[in-house]
Copies of this chain bind each other. A is one copy, B any other.
Amino acid sequence: MAVTIKDIAAAAGVSRGTVDRALHGRGGVSAEAASRIRRLAEEMQYQPNRAGLGLAALKKPLRIGLLLPRLGNLFFEEVVRGAEAAQQSLADFGLGLLFRRVQSYDPQSHLQALDWLAGQGVGGICAATVDLPEIRERVACLTRQGVPVVAVNTELSPCGCLSYVGCDYRQTGRIAAGLLLLLAVPEPRLLIVTGSRHAKGHNERIQGFLDRLAQARAPCQVLDQLECQDDDREAYRVTREALARLPQVNCLYVAGAGAAGVGAAVREAGLAGRAPILAFDDVPTTRGLVQEGLVPAIVCQQPFQQGYQAVKLLFRCLANGERPPARFLTDPVIKIAENL
């Protein structure tokens, strides 16, 4: 049987309440007793029992807030599903969730959402937001007020944020490059379509992609790099224009959303089957493109896991006082038609 708080109390010659207070620094314990108890706990390798912890926690239910974008695609719906699965598995320990979805990337609406969640009395927040100074400042402020924030899907530059749960964008770019190398396109003449030059994740994906190609000494050239605002229509427009201008393109790389638009332009240009498109994330649109054969493979980032782990990790921090790792990276997943 594992060491319990009772064992420590007996060993220290004090009551269980005193041990509890000492181990959690709740005060009301003499410095001498506190240090002795902590040392004993260490020596005896005390690990609080989660069942007992959970049972006691039922008295003061805990809520975690989630700030998530509501996009046209279903990516974040998977994050929601993951978060709900975590909630389900922790419901017996008194966890509740509070969602706040935002429509745009407008920082004002994100700040408002953060404040609203904090105002509802949540114990902590999981946020998929944007890495801007005003957001970071608010996160730092919330953290100081005792409401820790976990960045989900989009990493925040240092701002006291508890942890980052998401993928390594650079690595996903490298993997896309690896796939291109496997495809054996003799001399890749690339067209890159990104969401925005200001999106860090997209830039990292492009960086990783090009780095890997350079490292492999692939005889490839980037003919142009377009922006589409993660919008399918815009993606269609700019890609069509570029393909007309650059008929030698034989491979496309879509770093953000908008793959469906790119696919439409490629199809229209009669390049289907001759110019593979490399895209990201398993959402219905990219899925369709794989089944159609326009996209040979997609590199995914496990949105379900991101929601699941973010909630779990934050809960464990709030309920058990565990320190989460600074970054929890979800494994990239390669999908082709056969495992979609």
Establish whether residues A171 and B338, one from each chain, have CB atoms under 8 Å apart when the complex forms.
yes
Question: A331 to chain B: which residues have CB within 8 Å?
Answer: 339
- Asked whether any CB of chain B lies closer than 8 Å to the CB of A23, the reply is no
Map CB proximity to B onto A169-188 as digits: 1 under 8 Å, 0 otherwise.
Answer: 00100110111001110000
- Asked whether any CB of chain B lies closer than 8 Å to the CB of A31, the reply is no
- Asked whether any CB of chain B lies closer than 8 Å to the CB of A54, the reply is yes
Known contacts A182-B336, A338-B212; A50/B92 CB under 8 A: yes
Interface bracket on A:
35 or more
Taking CB atoms and an 8 Å cut-off, the chain A residues in 291-310 that contact chain B are 296-297
Map CB proximity to B onto A14-32 as digits: 1 under 8 Å, 0 otherwise.
Answer: 0000000000000000000
**Cross-interface CB contact of A178 among B1, B175, B183, B338, cutoff 8 Å:** B338
A51 to B50, CA, bound (A): 8
A247 to B245, CA, bound (A): 46
In whole Å, how far is A276's beta carbon from the nearest beta carbon of chain B? 9
Establish whether residues B336 and A51, one from each chain, have CB atoms under 8 Å apart when the complex forms.
no
Q: Which residues of A contact B (CB under 8 A)?
A: 1-2, 49-55, 58, 61, 91-93, 171, 174-175, 177-179, 182-184, 212, 296-297, 331-339
